Structure 1
Amino acid sequence: MKVGRKPTLFDHGRRPSSDDPFTFAEYFAGVGLARMGLEAAGWTPVFANDLDEQKRRMYEGHFGADEFFVLEDIHRLAESPEKVPHATLAHASFPCTDLSVAGRRGGLDAGQSSAFWGFHSLLEAQGEARPQLVLLENVTGFLSSNGGQDFRSALKAMNDLGYAVDPFIIDAAHFVPQSRPRLFVVCDRGSDPTECLAPDALEPSTLRPKALLDAVTRASDDIDWCIRSLPDLPPYGSRKLGEILDQVPAEDDQWWSQERADYLYSQMSERHQAVARRMMESRKWSHGTVFRRVRNGRSMAELRTDGIAGCLRTPKGGSGRQILFQAGYGKYRVRLLNADECARLMGANNYHIAVSLNQALFGFGDAVCVPVIEWIARNYLNNLVHASACSI
């Protein structure tokens, strides 16, 4: 792991000028991967907020962002909007715990996911000083949470603040070797209706699959949409798992004991064991990832070998830790993906990690994929800012 502290934003002399249109505030900032993606597309951060002290430690370990990172509950922050400087864009990856199909699905008004309403209250309190653009991010389960009512409620709430909305889905596997589909909603206060596509005229596509279009149809009655045409994504799965792996020597203690590796193998189904044996028969190393899941009351090890890792998750109870299975030359080895490899799966190459593996996994498991955010900025947000500047 890399230990160190990068110079701060203002050490670099990058204090934004008063006329810089590419400024953003980062809410539910986590470990700062949205910031990395936006900065790569030419944006400048002016504010960051999160409630988690451990994630702030990671954020500051990489960015040194003491100057503008506010550690505070979003509901309390909404009571003091003067703490937030003006920005063109607000990025908000609000908690997915109560929206995910893997969670309790309490909905947008329950537990952690109710933080969306704190964010909404802050925007409301900012009045006409609120950002021109908002980028929301969450799990695709948001579309069906509470029968689609949570999705509709959030969009209607953004409409009430003057924002037209445009949802789409991007799987990180178009950019990195990790399957991580996420829902994004661009919210724009200055949209031109003549540039918008009619929701009922859309055909299913990679960015707007049938499940999303069905959710749009269910929500459509009085929602102010501004759906725009977007370019094609890079090919799915063009990056492979082997590209992000460290070359770990066989004697390194990251590798599990053979006894422990054999036990993992014994937890595989016959079909997955057959795949593992074919990997072993090769005269080269190949790689797969393994997740432990409970099937019919039994803990099973499920092997994936298409070159794409499963979705990184926070390691609650240990089940979220992704396991590397390396096989070839008549044998196999097993270890956990390390923190640097998990960072690369999120597109956060060369991220400075100065915390424990478990803390790093909590940070990256909750984060956004860096090149996905960069793509959205370059192919969507930047165009809106340029169009707004030209209309003045």
Structure 2
Amino acid sequence: MFAIQEKQNKSTFTFLEFFAGSGLVTYALKNFFKAVWANDIDKKKSIVYKENNGSRNFNLDDVKNINGGNLPRVELSWASFPCQDLSLAGLSAGINGKRSGVVWEWLRVLDEMQHLPPILVAENVEGLMSSGGGNHYRVLHEALRSRGYKVGAIMLDAALWIPQSRPRIFVIAIKKGINIPSKLISESPTWLHTKSIIKVGNDLHDWIWWNMPVPPTRKKDLADIIEWDAPCDPEDTINKTISLINPRHFDKFISENILVAPGYKRTRNGKQVLELRFDGIAGCLRTPEGGSSRQYLVLKHEGKIKTRLLTVRETARLMGAPESYKFPGSYNDGYRAMGDAVAVPVARYLAKHLLANLATLNSDQALGGFYDNSRGTLQTII
């Protein structure tokens, strides 16, 4: 006679993190997956990673030098591969470009492993789906299919959890043969799928419409995460910065109940301007490769209008990192560590509502388990 035992999500699942950067994914997934190996080529970001997540399992090296035969067996492999060649701000070299093309090195390493991980995640910008008419994604999709995976892509914007506009594509692949419960998938697009994703996904084989619950409404706006006691610019710099603001934007800032407005310096019609936004969220953080990529704040504080750059701690808060997260190095080092990262609550939500369930499914089905739709729980025959 069989007894039924409920299987709970465990933090003992393991994963490999490629292009790990400053370690926010490792931190976000820690209650669901343990990072047993992580890699990045950037020395400064590796210092941030090690300071916050330990150095034991971190490998500082070019992914081209990694031998998959030396990596442990895991449930998940995560790759936040470089976005420059897929970004609208980049040169649009695409997924075979010099920088974004290192995604193929990730797959080469996986091919060398004795056991392919049952779950893969590749994270990148929206251009992965939208640029090139979706052909950049199609190439990646077919590469994953050829390795025995079913695949689906979703878009998650960090603004659902934290006051930063940061839409990102998450490609989630699972080995064929693993039975996926109905609550994790849909027969048609959901809130997770943009027009670009729908256009591409409708034409592909072994495509999955992933599904997750809609998160609760975000409670914090940009003003709630500001370090109000941080030093501001000197008066002459403030006046110069204000002069770059469109007069209508400045009038709106002055006349309405707006405490802080973020903005980026841009060139419009040959003239430098500071474009502000008034929706209570910051623009997408970028890396400080030149002054124009750093985000400015215009604030009403102590009866005056002031300006300054975002602080490193504010960038950390905009990524959902804890107050205890450490940033050794310069201002630019800290800003870059966050600008290239994955927002913590986004990765955590994905792990909680999808990835950990898939890992448990893989574990249970390998042991002869099954999913009980009537109870909404995973069952194991013992």
TM-score interval w.r.t. the shorter chain? Answer: 0.7 to 0.9
CA deviation after TM superposition for structure 1 residue 276, in Å:
2.2
Q: Partners in 1 of 2:72 and 2:104 — Cα distance?
A: 20
Q: Partners in 2 of 1:256 and 1:147 — Cα distance?
A: 44
Q: Partners in 2 of 1:360 and 1:83 — Cα distance?
A: 32
Check 1:196–1:185 CA distance in 2 against 1; reply closer, same or farther (3 A cut): farther
Q: Partners in 2 of 1:333 and 1:147 — Cα distance?
A: 43
2:124 match: 138
User: What is the SS of the residue equivalent to 2:113?
Assistant: helix
Amino acid of the structure 2 residue aligned with 1:272 = H
Equivalent in 216, 241, 259 of residue 264 of structure 1: 241
Q: Deviations over 1:244-293 (max 9, x none)?
A: 12231xxx6x21012111111111112111112215xx6xx711112111
Amino acid of the structure 1 residue aligned with 2:318 = L
- Residues 1:27 and 2:13 are matched in the alignment: no
Contact 1:342 1:364 in 2 (8 A): yes
Q: Deviations over 1:55-83 (max 9, x none)?
A: 11111122222x22111211221xx2233
CA deviation after TM superposition for structure 1 residue 228, in Å:
3.0
CA deviation after TM superposition for structure 1 residue 190, in Å:
4.6
Check 1:214–1:356 CA distance in 2 against 1; reply closer, same or farther (3 A cut): same
Question: Which 5+ residue runs of structure 1 have no aligned equivalent?
Answer: 1-18
Q: Partners in 1 of 2:27 and 2:310 — Cα distance?
A: 22
Q: Partners in 2 of 1:328 and 1:304 — Cα distance?
A: 18
More strand by share: 2
Check 1:89–1:331 CA distance in 2 against 1; reply closer, same or farther (3 A cut): same
Q: Partners in 1 of 2:180 and 2:52 — Cα distance?
A: 43
- Residues 1:202 and 2:188 are matched in the alignment: yes
User: What is the SS of the residue equivalent to 1:367?
Assistant: coil
Amino acid of the structure 1 residue aligned with 2:227 = D
2:89 match: 102
TM-score, normalised to structure 2, is: 0.88
Amino acid of the structure 2 residue aligned with 1:376 = L
Q: Partners in 2 of 1:318 and 1:305 — Cα distance?
A: 22
1:232 match: 214
CA deviation after TM superposition for structure 1 residue 26, in Å:
0.6
1:336 match: 309
Amino acid of the structure 1 residue aligned with 2:61 = E
**CA RMSD in angstroms, aligned pairs only:** 2.2
Check 1:144–1:152 CA distance in 2 against 1; reply closer, same or farther (3 A cut): same
1:245 match: 226
1:162 match: 148
Count residues in correspondence. 356
Q: Partners in 2 of 1:169 and 1:256 — Cα distance?
A: 37
CA deviation after TM superposition for structure 1 residue 99, in Å:
0.3
Q: Deviations over 1:155-209 (max 9, x none)?
A: 1101111111121000000111100000001111155467579x99524x43112
CA deviation after TM superposition for structure 1 residue 44, in Å:
1.0
1:352 match: 326
Q: Deviations over 1:142-165 (max 9, x none)?
A: 112322111000011011111111
Q: Partners in 2 of 1:151 and 1:346 — Cα distance?
A: 26
CA deviation after TM superposition for structure 1 residue 382, in Å:
1.1
Check 1:122–1:375 CA distance in 2 against 1; reply closer, same or farther (3 A cut): same
Q: Deviations over 1:315-367 (max 9, x none)?
A: 11111211121115652011111111101100112211111110111111110
1:315 match: 288
1:50 match: 40
- Residues 1:215 and 2:200 are matched in the alignment: yes
Check 1:256–1:194 CA distance in 2 against 1; reply closer, same or farther (3 A cut): closer
1:73 match: 62
Contact 1:164 1:191 in 2 (8 A): no
Contact 2:26 2:53 in 1 (8 A): no
Q: Partners in 1 of 2:363 and 2:12 — Cα distance?
A: 8
- Residues 1:286 and 2:259 are matched in the alignment: yes
Q: Partners in 2 of 1:268 and 1:207 — Cα distance?
A: 35
Amino acid of the structure 1 residue aligned with 2:192 = L
Contact 1:174 1:233 in 2 (8 A): yes
Q: Partners in 2 of 1:258 and 1:303 — Cα distance?
A: 20
Percentage of pairs with the same residue: 34
1:88 match: 75
Q: Partners in 2 of 1:194 and 1:323 — Cα distance?
A: 45
Contact 1:21 1:385 in 2 (8 A): no
Amino acid of the structure 1 residue aligned with 2:275 = E
Amino acid of the structure 1 residue aligned with 2:48 = M
TM-score, normalised to structure 1, is: 0.86
**Runs of 4+, deviation exceeding 6 Å:** none
